[in-house]
A and B are shown apart, each in its own frame.
Chain A
């Protein structure tokens, strides 16, 4: 079963707007990761946040982690058409290196 559950499942915004995606998970984790997947391609690692971190930034990305609520959010600021993709959260399952992915959020940024 999926460890992470993203919402919304789909999000459509205009260029320049911010996009926020949320992820919930079920078990204790030592890190949570976000990945992007362009249509028909492999995944690209965006950012990793450790369990002892509450917020992390990388360029236009801002990730938060609330371990008490077992949830994380990914904020993309000043979105661009090139940000159109599916975004997945992933958490370690089993061994430290095996990942379980959420269902993903399909983000569409309209020019």
Chain B
């Protein structure tokens, strides 16, 4: 099956700094990728849809200036958490469908801790 990787798998940063998370589709091209965050023992909350070559589409309530998304190629999307605060600590997961398919392939997730 298709493989999606994420890097880093975990990161600790200080308040006020920015953190970049990468999401790569390893063996297929992804014109669309999705970014989710997940709190402990809760479901996934869709943050934004990353579109290759165009601006990301953010879900209601998600600050686009705080969570910067760039989808510069057909295999890479990045999420940058800017001026991180402790409340941004969470598990961030990306996913991508193969073109024309409904099933999504998920990355292993990134655990972000802001101190």
Residue of B nearest to A42 (CB): B106
B102 to A42, Cβ gap below 8 A? no
Residue B8 is within 8 A (CB to CB) of chain A in the complex: no
Q: How far does the alpha carbon of A75 sit from the alpha carbon of B6 in the complex, in Å?
A: 31
In the bound assembly, the distance between CA atoms of A6 and B30 in angstroms comes to 29
**What residues of B have a CB within 8 angstroms of the CB of A102 in the complex?**
43
Known pairs A31-B102, A97-B32, A98-B49; A40 contacts B43 (CB<8 A):
no
Is A96 touching B46 in the complex (CB atoms < 8 A)?
Answer: no
- With a cutoff of 8 Å between Cβ atoms, the chain B residues found around residue A42 in the complex are 4, 6, 93, 95, 106-109
Shortest CB–CB separation between residue A11 and chain B, in angstroms? 14
| Nearest CB of A to B18, in Å | 23
Task: Tell me the complex Cα distance, A48–B67, Å.
Answer: 31
Check B104 against A104 for contact (C-beta < 8 Å).
no
Interchain Cβ contacts within 8 Å, total number: 55
Which residues in window 75-101 of A have CB below 8 A to B? 88, 92, 95-101
Q: CB-nearest residue of chain B relative to A9? A: B41
Tell whether B111 is near chain A: CB-to-CB under 8 Å: yes
Q: Which of B32, B42, B111 touches A40 (beta carbons < 8 Å)?
A: B111
Establish whether residues A97 and B46, one from each chain, have CB atoms under 8 Å apart when the complex forms: no
Interface residues in A59-77 (C-beta closer than 8 Å to B): none
Using Cβ atoms and an 8 Å threshold, which residues of chain A touch B4? 42
Query: Which B residues lie within 8 Å of A96 (CB)?
Result: 102
If A2-B43, A97-B32 touch, whether A45 touches B109 (CB-CB below 8 Å) is no
Judged by a CB distance under 8 angstroms, whether A33 is at the interface is yes
Q: Contact check, A88 vs B103: say whether CB atoms are below 8 A apart.
A: no
Contact between chains at B106 and A33 (CB < 8 Å): no
Q: List 14 A-B contacts (CB under 8 A).
A: A2-B43, A33-B102, A40-B109, A41-B108, A43-B104, A45-B1, A45-B106, A88-B43, A92-B102, A98-B34, A98-B46, A99-B46, A99-B104, A100-B46
